[in-house]
Amino acid sequence: MLVEVKNLNKSYGDLKALDQVSFEAEKQEIICVLGPSGCGKTTLLQSLGGFVELDSGTIMIDGKSIEKLAAEDRPVATVFQSYGLFPHMSVLDNIIYGLKFRNYKKKAARQEGMVMVRTLGLEGHENKKVTQLSGGQQQRVALGRALIVRPKLLLLDEPFSNLDTRLRDSMRQELLRIRDIFGITMVFVTHDQEDAFSIADRIILMNHGRLEQIGGARDVYDQPASDFVLNFLGRTNLSDEGYVRPEAIRLVRGGRGARIVGKVFKGFYSQYTVEDDKGSYQVISLEDDFEVGQEVGLEMEIRSI
């Protein structure tokens, strides 16, 4: 295992930001930390980066423990949410800044920097000030600046939160491409489950400083380990017997026992509210021709956690 994190604890006064958090990551794996605001995900990222002092716990990278090292001495680089680019430097100078501390000659550093500029599709911008770039370009500079120091682990803090929806999609693809080119391991933090489902190999769900579940996208969605995970990912109909996802209920035309009481047209799908003698359900269906008042049958499998 490239990254081994064991029993991390961190409290701010009475608030437990990290509570016995442990996980591992393989080389080239993309791990996404998902959770509501205040769940401790940013603290987790900062403690990996060396910006938060842990109360206890160990962090091993490549078999060496790094939790006592200062941020600047860890084989870890971070891409910050607000990027933290140096506004008084050019794009190229931003990208090669870290090489200064790795005994590069200026010329070699610039060459290396230009390779990175090309890899990230920033040709022609290398001499601009970073303040002249668009949000997506700034994001690339922040990525390039972190990647050029060849960290073993790359941390990303809400990397797409400042980008619009379309740009977000292309940056997700970009991130996968970068993983393949550089063979790098990434841990990234987000509150957006679409980020997580799109690119993560495994997802960590956090709540109140605790790691609730870790697994592939399908695992955590189909087999949630706790009520929190169930409710945080997607929507759910809850009953005494268990739960059923809205898209897992099938409306049976000509069936009996349930009645449509509400309908919202959502574009490529429709959302129905259906009642039977046990209660009411939200149902998502691609068929949009059921009408309010219509009697239908329900096919579903109630699951339990």
Partner 1 sequence: MDGGRRLLNVTDRALRIFMAFLVLVFVLYPFIAVFLKALLKEGSFGFSEFLFIKEELYLLKNSLKSSFLTASISTIFAISLSLMTFFISKRQRSFLMFVLLLTMVSPPFIGSLTYIQLFGRNGFITKTILGLSINPYGMWGVVSVQTLGFTSATAMLLITYLDSFDGTMIEAARSLGAKTSSILVDIVLPLIRPAILVSFLLNFIRAMADFTSPMIIGGAFNTLATEGYLSIIAKGNSPRASAISLVLFLPSIVVFIIYSYYYKQQQRASKNLRRVSSRMEKSGLYYVLAFLAGFFILWLLIQYLAVFSAAITDRYQGKTFFTLQNIKDARPHIRDSFVRSIGYSLIGALVSSLLALVLSYYAFIRNFKYMKVIDFIANMPYIVPGTFFGLGYIFAFNKEPLKLTGTALIVILNLIFRQLPMSIRTVQTSMGQIEEETMASAKDLGAHNLYILKDLVFPLSASGLFLAFTNGFISSMTTVGSIIFLVYPSRKLATLVLFDLVNSGKYKVASVLSVFIILICLGTSLVSYAVYRRGHVSRS
Query: Cα separation of 114 and 125, whole Å?
Result: 11
Question: Total binding residues for partner 1 by CB under 8 A?
Answer: 30
**Residue 50 neighbours by CB under 8 Å, 6+ apart:** 66, 69, 70, 71, 72, 73, 74, 76
Told to check if 50 binds partner 1 by CB under 8 A, we report yes
Please count the residues of the chain. Answer: 305
The answer to whether the CB of 48 falls within 8 A of the CB of 21 is: no
User: Of 51, 121, 48, 61, nearest to 91 (Cα)?
Assistant: 121
Q: Which of 287, 284, 168 shows the shortest CA–CA distance to 234?
A: 284
Judged by CB under 8 A, which stretch of 76-84, 116-124, 166-174, 226-234 contacts partner 1?
76-84
Strands 279-285 and 270-276: what pairing? Answer: antiparallel
- Binding to partner 1 by residue 86, rule CB under 8 A? yes
- Is 182 an interacting residue with respect to partner 1 (CB under 8 A)? no
Q: Which of 87, 124, 183, 267 binds partner 1 (CB under 8 A)?
A: 87
Q: Using only the alpha carbons of the chain, give its radius of gyration.
A: 23
Residue 133 makes contact with partner 1 by CB under 8 A: no
Most distant CA pair in the chain, distance? 78
Part in contact with partner 1 (CB under 8 A); list of ranges 46-54, 132-140, 173-181, 250-258: 46-54
Residue pointed to by tokens 């790795």: 102
Instruction: Extract the tokens encoding 202.
Output: 């495994």
Per CB under 8 A, the segment of 84-92, 178-186, 217-225, 256-264 that binds partner 1 is 84-92
Shortest approach of partner 1 to residue 288 CB, angstroms? 40
Residue placing its CB nearer to partner 1 in the complex, 35 or 98:
98
Sole window of 94-102, 119-127, 235-243, 271-279 interacting with partner 1 (rule: CB under 8 A): 94-102
Q: Which residues bind partner 1 (CB under 8 A)?
A: 49-51, 70-74, 76-78, 80-88, 97-98, 100-102, 142, 145-146, 149, 155
